[in-house]
Structures are given as C-alpha cells and as structure tokens.
Amino acid sequence: MAEGRSCPRIKTHSILKDFDVFWNQKLGTGISGPVRPCVKKLNKERFALKCVPDNPRSRTEVNLHVMCSGHPNVVQVLDVYANDLQLHEDEPRKPYLLMVLEMMEGGELFDRISKEQKFTERKAAMYFKQVADAVRHCHDLNVAHRDLKPENLLLKDNTEDAQIKLSDFGFAKIDDGNLQTPYFTPYYVAPQILEAHRHQTRIKKGLIPTSKPYTYDKSCDMWSLGVILYIMLSGYPPFYSETPSRQITTEMKRKILLGDYQFPETEWQQVSEEAKSVVKSLLHTDPSCRMTVYELLSHTWLNNAPDTHLSSPAVFSDKEGLADINLAHSQQLTSMRIPDCPLTLKSLAESENPIIRKRKLRKSSVDDSVCQDCIKKPTLSPTALKSLRDIIGYCILPPKVDDDENVLNDLVAKCLKHNPEENGFHSILSTWDWDGKRFNSKVDKSQLAHLVSELVQTLTRGSNHTEETDVS
Ligand SMILES: Nc1ncnc2c1ncn2[C@@H]1O[C@H](COP(=O)(O)OP(=O)(O)OP(=O)(O)O)[C@@H](O)[C@H]1O
C-alpha cells in the first residue's frame, strides 16, 4: 500500500530569501498563470515555481500534491511558501501560495512524441505504463486526480529514457466514497450520480463484491487514460465535434456516453488488437465496468507491446492540431467532473421568494451556451415533462415486473404522444432502433436514463419549468 507524504510546513518568510525567481520567464502557462523557473540560492539547483491564489481550493491542491509526491512518476513538491505578492501591475498585493516544484526540463509528453523519429507501440506502452503507475499511486492513496490530460504529463529531461511525471493536482480530490450513497431526486440528476446509484443497487443485490469500492472520480481518471492512449496511438482523439466550439456540445456528450468512437483503418490497421483492447476497456461506457488501474497495469500489452510504427508523431507536429486536442480533452474533463458540492433540487414549496429563486437559477447555469439555446426552445407541457421523467425513473429503479421490455415500450410510446416534435428524443430512441412501437435492440437502461436526463435538463433550463424547482 502506498504511503502518502504529509504536508510540509508552509513557510511564511519571503521566498526570495531562499530562491532567485525569474519572474519574466515562463516554462508553461495554465489557468492559474505562468509557471516560472527559479534557482535555489544554496546550491543553484533549478526548480519550477507555480503561484496560486491562497484560498481553500489551492490549499487542497497543495496538500494533495504533496501527499502524492513520494512517487518517481509524480512531480515532487520541494517547498511551499505563503507570501503576499503583486504579480500584475494593475492589481494590489494579494496572498499567494508558491509551490516550488521539481523542474521538468523535458517539457510536455506530446511535444516530445511529435519529435520522435521512430515512435512505436512499445515506446507508447513504456510511456503509458509510467503514467498508469502514477495514477495507481494516487488511487492507492484514495486521491482521484480528475485532470489527467496531455499537458499534465511532463518529462524529467531531454534524454531518450527520461521519466514521465504527473503534475497539476488543481482538481484532485480525496475520494471519500460519498458517491456510494448518492442522494438525488430521481427525475433530475447528473448522469454520474445515476451511475453511482446503479452501482449501489448492484452491490445490494450482491452482483458486485463490496470489497471493490466504486468511486466515479477514479473511474473518470481511467477514462482519461483511455483517451490519452487513443491519442498516443493514432494522433487524434476518440471523441470530437464536427463543429469545434469552446463548449462541449450535446452531440459530443452523447458520443461519450454511448462510447461512440471508431478505430479508422488508416491509422489503426497497424495497431495491435491488444492495444485496442486496452483502449476499449478504458473507454467502457459504464464506469463501474471500466478497467481499474490494477487491471491496466497487469495487462500484457503494457509489458509486451510490439515494435510497430505509429503515425502519431506526424499528426502531433501540427501545433494547432495539438492545441485543439488539448482543448477538447480539457472540455471533456470539465463536463465529466462531479461538482464538489453536489447540486440538489428543492421543491417549490421549500424555496425562497420567486425573485431570489430566479436569480439563483440564472447563477447556477453551468453551460451558458446551452442555456441560451434552450431559451429559444418550445416549452414542454407538464405532462410531456412528466412522461420523460417517468422513463428516467423507470430506468434507474430496480425492475418491478417481469414484463420489463413491454413496460418500457409503453412508457416511450406514451411519451411520444406528448413530445411528438422533440428531435432530441427521437434521436435518443434511434440509438436502440425504435420502430415507432418498440425497441429492436437491447436497451441499455442506464444509458437511456442518462440521455433522457440530459434532454430534460436541456429542455427545462431557461424555460418555464425552471420555475418549478430551485437549485441550492
Ligand atoms: N514542474 C514543472 N517543470 C516545468 N514546467 C512545468 C512544471 N509544472 C508546470 N509546468 C508547465 O506549466 C504548465 C502549466 O502548469 P499547471 O498545469 O500545473 O498549471 P495550471 O494553472 O494548474 O494549469 P491547467 O490550466 O492545466 O489547470 C504545464 O503545462 C507545463 O508546461
């Protein structure tokens, strides 16, 4: 079992006593601003300095990064300072946490791959194994990283066999298992919570041993690993939108939930079946069936990958393309992360006055672009809404009758009477070959619940229905 490091004492004297900081240089830039080089005065050793505003969230980042630090594939945190700084001319001095990090001279992993003369499956497996081992270490400590993406995989130096290390614990979270006891109103619920609920039900029925704790966040890390591996092997991501936008589109979410991706012949015909099988097991749509990090590390491909050439370096050398890949991956992670304070819905009777309710609802909108779209959408009648919700409720609750399929077919048919024009609904139904009366393919009820739940969220945001509920 891995042992975590305890948090170093946060130093409150000026960092400039111990380090020379190159404020005008940057090693890279993230959401929290540039990461700068610095040199320890005592021995002239080079480090990277990450400055984050001092607030509870950054304190969590520091704590969890330090905790996971004692592993060769995790960037080490040497020291942490709490100093007041004026980092921008137009801002007053503000409290910051300054993290002195091990210097990763080799830059980001995908930049390195773009320069590889001969990039093979074996090399990809060698890189990937190190990333997986870092994730194993975090998961052993019950930490979900939640931001596994190419930009956070850094190389120690520029040598041929440089180590890869995981960085940026800005979204990391102690996986305290809260999601094993999901609380929600069954009709309006994030897809992730539905999954946790299903898992809970399966444990209760004895279908899954209780010794295998399930947390959605850890399974998200495994999904991210699947996306990273897919990109490493082919040069492009498994899920992308035909119309690039800054917001993840409903269509892309749908593709992710349905696991709707391909292995196009041109780039994938050379790739071994074992590698594809690893990708498939990581991108499994049901998080509770997704490969765990231990299953991944014991997979034969990781230790016995063939020496076949991959086309990814050529694709990565297009810098703009690589930036698009990184952006798409970040957006997908954002859409998958469960908010740290889960949203719950209160009934109208419990809410405060209507003006406050409306204002709260406006503020709670997480996806403005979707919201704007929805305002233009036709209003759903309460009966139509109820019939959609009945389908969700039916799909997430344990079956009560033997005649499962007919009940579902009847519910859908009834719903169609109330929602005849709703294209989103028709498109969901076509996933399982709805012929107007029944489904002709076996319905994955969990996925159906996901998709209808999303549709309900989309249709009710910005419409009259938002007045029926209050988000707190
Ligand atoms: N230890 C390091 N050594 C060298 N470069 C680093 C180091 N840490 C970070 N960087 C560079 O700085 C960039 C941003 O760092 P980091 O991801 O930690 O910041 P962030 O503000 O949390 O970013 P994000 O937008 O990904 O959340 C990295 O992608 C990398 O290029």
Q: Domain coordinates of the chain in residue numbers?
A: 15-102, 107-333, 354-471
| pLDDT tens digits for range 60-117 | 999 999 999 989 999 999 999 999 998 888 888 999 999 999 999 999 999 899 888 8
Ligand 1 pocket residue status of 35, Cβ below 6 Å? yes
Token couple for 37: 């080089």
Ligand 1 pocket residue status of 42, Cβ below 6 Å? no
Give the whole-angstrom CA distance, residue 192 versus residue 225.
18
Ligand 1 midpoint to CA 151 (Å)? 7
At the top level of CATH, the class of 15-102 is: alpha beta
| pLDDT tens digits for range 131-170 | 999 999 999 998 989 889 888 999 999 998 899 999 999 9
H-state helical runs in 72-187? 109-114, 121-140
Ligand 1 midpoint to CA 256 (Å)? 27
| 3-class secondary structure, 29 | strand
| Amino acid 374: pLDDT | 31
In this prediction, residue 350 has a pLDDT band, given cuts at 50, 70 and 90, of: very low
Ligand 1 pocket residue status of 27, Cβ below 6 Å? yes
Q: Whose CA is nearest to atom 18 of ligand 1?
A: 168
Catalytic position from the list 54, 79, 133, 147: 147
Neighbours of 261 (CB within 10 A): 18
Token couple for 49: 């300095």
| Amino acid 14: pLDDT | 97
Give the whole-angstrom CA distance, residue 376 versus residue 231.
37
Give the whole-angstrom CA distance, residue 357 versus residue 352.
6
Which atom of ligand 1 lies at the shortest distance from residue 103's CA?
3
Q: Is the pLDDT of residue 45 over 60?
A: yes
Ligand 1 pocket residue status of 168, Cβ below 6 Å? yes
Give the whole-angstrom CA distance, residue 348 versus residue 382.
15
Q: Whose CA is nearest to atom 20 of ligand 1?
A: 30
Give the whole-angstrom CA distance, residue 328 versus residue 166.
19
Is 444 annotated as catalytic? no
Residue type, 441: S
pLDDT above 70 covers a percentage of the chain that reads: 71
How far is CA 221 from each of CA 48, 147, 278, 281, 382, rounded to the nearest angstrom? Answer: 25, 8, 14, 13, 38
How far is CA 310 from each of CA 91, 376, 393, 413, rounded to the nearest angstrom? Answer: 48, 46, 46, 48
Radius of gyration of the chain (CA): 24
Count Cβ neighbours within 10 Å for each residue of 144-175 and write b for 16 or more, e otherwise. Answer: bbbbbbbbbbbbbeeeeebbbbbbbbbbbbeb
Burial class (CB in 10 A: 0-12, 13-18, 19+), 241: middle
Ligand 1 pocket residue status of 80, Cβ below 6 Å? no
Ligand 1 pocket residue status of 155, Cβ below 6 Å? no
Give the whole-angstrom CA distance, residue 206 versus residue 202.
6
- The gap from C-alpha 210 to its chain's centroid, in whole angstroms, comes to 25
Whether residue 311 contacts residue 136, with contact meaning beta carbons closer than 8 Å, is answered with: no
Ligand 1 midpoint to CA 460 (Å)? 38
Which atom of ligand 1 lies at the shortest distance from residue 171's CA?
27
Ligand 1 midpoint to CA 96 (Å)? 16
Ligand 1 pocket residue status of 48, Cβ below 6 Å? yes
Burial class (CB in 10 A: 0-12, 13-18, 19+), 267: middle
Give the whole-angstrom CA distance, residue 380 versus residue 377.
9
Residue type, 82: A
β-strands 345-347, 173-174 pairing: unpaired
Ligand 1 pocket residue status of 150, Cβ below 6 Å? no
Q: Which has more pLDDT, 247 or 139?
A: 139
Ligand 1 midpoint to CA 342 (Å)? 28
> Which residues, including other chains, have CB under 8 Å from residue 284's CB and lie 6 or more apart?
259, 290, 291
What pTM was estimated for this model as a whole? Answer: 0.68
Q: Can you give the length of the chain in residues?
A: 472
For the structural domain made of 107-333, what CATH number should be given? 1.10.510.10
